[in-house]
Structure 1
């Protein structure tokens, strides 16, 4: 099974590097949906049982579930994955959660065993990033179909227009979605139709990839407010009047009235100098204001708020390592992301 194919090499690498005996005691599978595996690690007379959460890829959006699971296992959980991004490792350690990746890099802390290895070469998974689907144009296509699932059964020309991508890429995008198990063929009204599967999983994967792949390309620069009162009154600058959309933490503040932003994210196609004049901001590489260009079809996916589409606000916040941002993301998802 998949868990064993990931877990065994990781445990064997741990033993090879450290001499710690690590073995699988049980693979509950369908008997227990909350536990992928039970593992035992031993060193001398010290022996500990841990509940393993096994993932091919460990995404930021899963962090809240991991933290909740840690509470139910009295801290005896260990994350195992082929590859764990460095920021995720930092967050796991900060919360006292053990982990192992296939390369042997690990953090294990029990009452009698402490291991921290970070010098093993650990190349990230490339199978996703190398496909067209997870390149910038594919990310735009995915956002469009996540916003409107009916697009999948529209003409390729309409999909391309709505997503803002080249017509010639649509066929390969859909093929890759089928290959990854996110689209299946079905029948509706006696006609073959394409259906989106595992939408929540696709959204969370898109959120992580957006932060690393597409978002950096949309970033224009960073700025700061001229005066404290300008910062405090940030939302008095109405988005529709200025041709801007508030995103990330500022979108979370508007949509939930729960979050006080520390970073003020603006999406706009307006001239930067005009925005500087209207918003009373000045360039500053370490400033609290960030300006990005919109990537979505603003006519098709218009919002009733001064914010980016709620799906994008959710994605930006759920892929953050800030717990309050993730909590705000879940509030947005419950209310807006259907």
Structure 2
């Protein structure tokens, strides 16, 4: 049973490093099953029974389903998996969803028990040797293709330039897209051409992978506004600073007018200290301002309202577990992404 290959090592590791005794009470079966296992956790005199969702990998859709089931049932749920990206761990804790990694990192909060471990080394699963498409360079290439599918019918050199990736990678990326059903052959004016297929599924997978694979590499740091009035007037910096692109919730606010940001996301290639001086920012590990480096070729990006390309704004918002962000993401998709 595949679930046991993850569940048993995770529970054994939890017992080893946290002193929590774990017992598997049952494996629900049948079409109506609501979990992969029912487990009992005991620490000292305290015992909790939880419904376990055992997953080989974690996607936003996975977390949506877990949250939905927890809201519909009285039972406390726990996610057990090999690896959870750090951003998703934070969102799980916000939603009060317990989790255990096979490394032993965990968050368990019930009426009778609290355990939080985050110092165990946890390694993200490596991409297969024949799979480069979901590594950082592949995500850059996919972003360019999703922005302008017709570049698939231009030269490899042009595709490399448009996506800011090495020329030698382009052929491999296209081969993988064909293999995975994202590119099909078509005709235009009786000439064979490459067509993008399954675009919606590709965008949603790209959004998940961007958040966990590429976005952390682009992060410069976290900050806070020095004064409350600077936060209140954040949008004024769009007009003043052509080298700033707003992303995430701030892009959602600009593109729809229906969101008040709680996190202020800035994409810029400018020197961080210059940005700090100009926007009056102060470094803060828990700050609500984040600065990231753009990864796309800005020479090929269409000018907008001071925001990142709408597909990136959609991706950042739809891969969030915040329901209000996801609602705004769908508005952006309908109006700008298609």
TM above 0.5: yes
CA displacement at 1:205 relative to structure 2: 1.6
Change over 3 Å in CA distance of 1:211–1:99 after alignment to 2: same
CA displacement at 1:87 relative to structure 2: 5.1
1:74 matched to which residue of 2? 74
Kindly indicate whether residue 138 of structure 2 is the aligned counterpart of residue 142 of structure 1.
no
Q: Is the 8 A contact 2:26 2:37 kept in 1?
A: yes
The 2-side partners of 1:238 and 1:184 are apart by 36
1:252-298 alpha-carbon deviations (Å, 9 max, x no partner) = 21122222234443434568898789xx5346324765554433233
Change over 3 Å in CA distance of 1:195–1:328 after alignment to 2: closer
1:102 matched to which residue of 2? 102
Change over 3 Å in CA distance of 1:209–1:27 after alignment to 2: farther
Q: Is the 8 A contact 1:61 1:208 kept in 2?
A: no
Change over 3 Å in CA distance of 1:209–1:178 after alignment to 2: farther
Q: Is the 8 A contact 1:185 1:192 kept in 2?
A: no
The 2-side partners of 1:165 and 1:235 are apart by 32
TM-score, length basis structure 1: 0.72
Q: Is the 8 A contact 1:75 1:96 kept in 2?
A: no
The residue correspondences of 1:233-272 to structure 2 (distance < 5 A) are 233-239=233-239, 242-268=242-268
CA displacement at 1:153 relative to structure 2: 5.0
The 1-side partners of 2:169 and 2:29 are apart by 41
CA displacement at 1:140 relative to structure 2: 1.8
Kindly indicate whether residue 28 of structure 2 is the aligned counterpart of residue 26 of structure 1.
yes
The 1-side partners of 2:120 and 2:176 are apart by 29
The 2-side partners of 1:285 and 1:120 are apart by 24
The 2-side partners of 1:175 and 1:27 are apart by 40
How many correspondences in the alignment? Answer: 325
Q: Is the 8 A contact 1:25 1:40 kept in 2?
A: no
The 2-side partners of 1:283 and 1:47 are apart by 44
Q: Is the 8 A contact 2:186 2:195 kept in 1?
A: no
Q: Is the 8 A contact 2:58 2:84 kept in 1?
A: yes
2:126 matched to which residue of 1? 127
CA displacement at 1:172 relative to structure 2: 2.9
Structure 2: segments with no counterpart, 5+ residues: none
CA displacement at 1:238 relative to structure 2: 4.7
Moved more, 81-90 or 127-136: 127-136
Q: What root-mean-square deviation, in Å, do the aligned CA atoms of Structure 1 and Structure 2 show?
A: 4.4
The 1-side partners of 2:274 and 2:50 are apart by 61
Q: Is the 8 A contact 1:223 1:281 kept in 2?
A: no
Change over 3 Å in CA distance of 1:11–1:222 after alignment to 2: closer
TM-score, length basis structure 2: 0.72
Change over 3 Å in CA distance of 1:220–1:38 after alignment to 2: closer
The 2-side partners of 1:270 and 1:80 are apart by 41
Change over 3 Å in CA distance of 1:21–1:235 after alignment to 2: closer
